Amino acid sequence: MCRVRHVVRCLVLGNLAIATAAAFPAASASADDVADFYKGKPMQMVIRSTTGNEYDLLARTLARHIGNHIPGHPAEMVPINMPGAGGIKAAEYMATVAPEDGTILTIVSQGLPMYQALELGKPMKADMKAFGWIGNMSTSNQTLVVWHTSPTKTLEDAKRRVTPIGSSGAGSISVQLPAVYNNILGTKLKIIFGYPGGAEMNLAMERGEIEGRGTNTWSAWTATHSDWIRDKKIVPIVQVGLRKEPELPDVPLLMDLARNDRQREILGYVTRAVAVGRPIATTPGVPPARLQALRAAFDATVKDPSFVADAERQRLDVNTMTGAELEKIVAALIDAPQDIKAEVKQAIKPTALEMVKGVKPGKGD
- The CATH code of the domain that includes 185 is 3.40.190.10
Judge whether 204 and 193 are in contact, CB under 8 Å.
no
Predicted pLDDT of residue 122 = 87
Predicted pLDDT of residue 139 = 85
- Mean pLDDT calculated for residue range 96-110: 97
CA distance 211 to 230: 19
Range of the domain at 57: 4-139+277-334
Query: Hey, what amino acid is at 181?
Result: Y
**Whether residue 346 sits in one domain with residue 202:** yes
**Whether residue 120 sits in one domain with residue 157:** no
**Whether residue 285 sits in one domain with residue 181:** no
**Whether residue 125 sits in one domain with residue 111:** yes
330 domain residue, yes or no: yes
Residue 355 binned pLDDT confidence (cut-offs 50, 70, 90): low
**Whether residue 96 sits in one domain with residue 12:** yes
Q: Which positions ≥6 away from 152 have C-beta within 8 Å? A: 146, 158, 161, 163, 211, 212, 237
CA distance 320 to 140: 10
Higher local confidence (pLDDT), 196 or 294: 294
Q: Is the pLDDT of residue 27 over 90?
A: no
363 domain residue, yes or no: no
Residue 33 binned pLDDT confidence (cut-offs 50, 70, 90): very high
**β-strands 4-5, 163-166: how paired?**
unpaired
**Whether residue 124 sits in one domain with residue 21:** yes
CATH of the domain at 24: 3.40.190.150
- Mean pLDDT calculated for residue range 77-98: 96
38 domain residue, yes or no: yes
**Whether residue 353 sits in one domain with residue 297:** no
Q: Is the pLDDT of residue 26 over 70?
A: no
**Whether residue 216 sits in one domain with residue 163:** yes
**Whether residue 347 sits in one domain with residue 217:** yes
Q: Is the pLDDT of residue 19 over 50?
A: no
- Mean pLDDT calculated for residue range 67-95: 96
Judge whether 273 and 111 are in contact, CB under 8 Å.
yes
362 domain residue, yes or no: no
Q: Is the pLDDT of residue 17 over 70?
A: no
Predicted pLDDT of residue 109 = 92
**Whether residue 156 sits in one domain with residue 262:** yes
Q: Is the pLDDT of residue 200 over 60?
A: yes
**Whether residue 267 sits in one domain with residue 163:** yes
365 domain residue, yes or no: no
Q: How many domains does the chain have?
A: 2
pLDDT per residue as tens digits for the range 238-261: 999 988 999 999 999 999 999 999
CA distance 79 to 89: 16
Question: In Å, how far are 215, 240, 255 from 243, measured between CA atoms?
Answer: 17, 8, 9
Q: What is the pTM of this model?
A: 0.74
216 domain residue, yes or no: yes
Q: How many CB atoms lie within 10 A of CB 324?
A: 17
What percentage of residues in the chain have a pLDDT greater than 90? 73
364 domain residue, yes or no: no
pLDDT per residue as tens digits for the range 155-195: 999 999 999 999 986 657 888 899 999 999 999 999 998 88
Predicted pLDDT of residue 173 = 81
Over the chain, what is the mean pLDDT? Answer: 88
**Whether residue 131 sits in one domain with residue 9:** yes
Predicted pLDDT of residue 352 = 58
284 domain residue, yes or no: yes
Predicted pLDDT of residue 219 = 86
- Mean pLDDT calculated for residue range 215-220: 90
What percentage of residues in the chain have a pLDDT greater than 70? 88
Predicted pLDDT of residue 30 = 76
